[in-house]
Amino acid sequence: MHFDDLLRRYFASADMTAISPDALAAGIEHCRVDLGLEKNPAKRFALWALLHLFDAAPDLDIAFETAEEREAARNFADLLAGATEPGGD
């Protein structure tokens, strides 16, 4: 799953700044439904990560079945937070 492809699939644009509020809401809902239906752990992680970027991801206990998957998601969120904080190269 490529990031640009996910943006196009769920939000009809690969440009995050061009997504309208209505398209954002609809895309988030569509992505949440697909996350709930997806069985492949790697694809579930990609969908959760996309939702996380939009501050719309479900809690880790809901999104992931195993402790390893939850830990990977925590690590991703921590890395992302560190990259966006001042001084977090």
Q: Is 74 inside any structural domain?
A: yes
| Residue span of the structural domain in which 66 resides | 3-84
Q: Which of 5, 6, 3 is nearest to 30 (CA)?
A: 6
The tokens for 60 are: 């880790």
pLDDT per residue over 20-74, tens digit each?
999 999 999 999 999 999 999 999 999 999 999 999 999 999 999 999 999 999 9
Q: Is 11 inside any structural domain?
A: yes
Q: Is 54 inside any structural domain?
A: yes
What single DSSP character describes residue 38?
-
Q: Is 26 inside any structural domain?
A: yes
pTM of the model: 0.86
Q: Is 25 inside any structural domain?
A: yes
Per-residue model confidence (pLDDT) at position 82? 84
Q: Which residues contact 56 (CB under 8 A, 6 or more apart)?
A: 28, 31, 32
Q: How far apart are CA 8 and CA 56, in angstroms?
A: 17
Number of domains forming the structure of the chain: 1
Q: Is 89 inside any structural domain?
A: no
How many CA within 13 A on the CB side of residue 85?
8
